[in-house]
């Protein structure tokens, strides 16, 4: 049984944190979303970079710090393990670090969880427990598959890289299959199994993230932003935007007044 006791976000270039969980049941789950950070766990150096998920079990003395002059951002969930954990990962006596296939989905849910925790939303701890348990189960499943899963993740990372470079265009499973030298159906199935999203959903999500940036940090109209990220129909873009972000484009455009002189 695990309980989430804290959710926080660390960011910057001057971060330092020290903890001793000897004789306690406190553990930490860390997702790095930008840059690089260094931990010394029981005098062992651990470098965590963007996309890494790090688990630090109870009964550890450790500290972490930024790499000099390098900005970093990460989310940290503090766990209390009140009984013998069911998942093998949580039974380990030493730290575990790897990259998780569903990173983008995990990061989005982590951001939402962090916001709920800060707002002290009703039942936030219960939701946090359910969400974190799911993350750990998915991670454990990937971990059990070992090197084979690492090769699979590499293929998916190649497809994601292709999408990031061509998100403004129409992207099909045929293109991605050709890019990784696999059949279209294999590429589509693999992408969904590893990321938890279909190819089209991931493309739309990538476009929306770029659209948010442009709505806040440019002087373009909603129509111009829509066209730039790949949508000719502004109404369709606005419907998708609301579905993916929960807000309208106008909401983000209002942020311009706060960020521009």
Q: Are residues 224 and 247 in the same domain?
A: yes
Q: How far is CA 226 from the centre of its chain?
A: 25
Least Cα distance to 79 among 9, 139, 24 occurs for 24
Report the 3 state secondary structure along 117-154: HHHCCCCHHHHHHHHHHHHHHHHHHHHHHCHHHHHHHH
pLDDT of 138 reads 85
Q: Are residues 110 and 171 in the same domain?
A: no
pLDDT of 196 reads 82
Q: Are residues 91 and 16 in the same domain?
A: yes
Q: Are residues 60 and 79 in the same domain?
A: yes
Q: Is the pTM of this model over 0.75?
A: no
pLDDT of 258 reads 61
Q: Are residues 11 and 130 in the same domain?
A: yes
pLDDT of 102 reads 80
Q: Are residues 111 and 23 in the same domain?
A: yes
Q: Are residues 129 and 248 in the same domain?
A: no
CA distance linking residue 197 with residue 101, whole number of Å? 11
pLDDT of 228 reads 96
Strand order in the sheet with 61-66: 16-20, 61-66, 36-41, 44-49
Instruction: Please give the tally of structural domains in the chain.
Output: 3
Single out the residue in 145, 166, 183 at which a domain terminates.
Answer: 145
CA distance linking residue 103 with residue 13, whole number of Å? 23
pLDDT of 232 reads 93
Q: Are residues 63 and 131 in the same domain?
A: yes
- Say which CATH number the domain at 38 has: 2.60.120.280
Q: Are residues 189 and 211 in the same domain?
A: no
Q: Are residues 159 and 91 in the same domain?
A: no
Q: Are residues 125 and 24 in the same domain?
A: yes
* C-alpha dihedral (119, 34, 190, 92), degrees to nearest 10: -80
Single out the residue in 196, 216, 233 at which a domain terminates.
Answer: 196
Q: Are residues 11 and 76 in the same domain?
A: yes
pLDDT of 194 reads 84
pLDDT tens string for the chain (261 positions)?
Answer: 788 999 999 998 889 999 998 888 999 999 999 999 999 999 999 999 998 999 999 999 999 999 888 899 999 999 998 776 678 888 888 999 988 878 888 888 898 899 899 988 889 889 899 989 988 888 888 787 766 566 788 899 899 999 999 999 999 999 999 999 999 999 999 998 888 889 999 999 999 999 999 999 889 999 999 999 999 999 999 999 999 888 899 998 887 766 555
Structural domain containing residue 219: 201-259
- Say which CATH number the domain at 249 has: 1.10.10.60
Angle at 14 between CA 7 and CA 70, to 5 degrees: 100
């Amino acid at each position: 049984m695990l309980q989430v006791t804290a959710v926080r976000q660390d960011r910057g270039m001057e971060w330092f944190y020290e903890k001793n969980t000897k004789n306690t049941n406190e553990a930490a789950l860390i997702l790095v979303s930008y840059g690089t950070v260094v931990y010394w766990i029981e005098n062992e150096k651990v470098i965590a970079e963007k996309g890494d998920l790090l688990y630090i079990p109870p009964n550890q003395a450790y500290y972490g710090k930024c790499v000099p002059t390098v900005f970093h951002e990460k989310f940290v969930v503090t766990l209390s393990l009140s009984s013998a954990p069911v998942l093998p990962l949580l039974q380990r006596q030493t730290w575990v670090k790897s990259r998780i296939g569903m990173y983008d989905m995990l990061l989005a849910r982590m951001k939402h969880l962090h916001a709920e925790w800060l707002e002290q939303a009703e039942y936030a701890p219960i939701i946090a427990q359910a969400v974190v348990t799911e993350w750990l189960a998915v991670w454990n499943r990937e971990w059990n598959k070992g090197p084979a899963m690492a090769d699979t993740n590499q293929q998916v990372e190649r497809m994601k890289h292709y999408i990031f470079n061509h998100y403004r265009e129409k992207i099909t499973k045929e293109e991605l299959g050709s890019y990784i030298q696999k059949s279209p159906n294999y590429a589509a199935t693999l992408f969904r199994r590893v990321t938890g999203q279909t190819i089209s959903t991931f493309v739309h999500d990538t476009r929306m993230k770029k659209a948010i940036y442009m709505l806040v940090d440019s002087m373009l109209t909603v129509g111009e932003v829509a066209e730039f990220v790949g949508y000719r129909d502004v109404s369709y873009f606005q419907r998708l935007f609301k579905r993916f972000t929960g807000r309208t484009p106008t909401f983000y455009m209002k942020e311009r007044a706060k960020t521009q002189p």
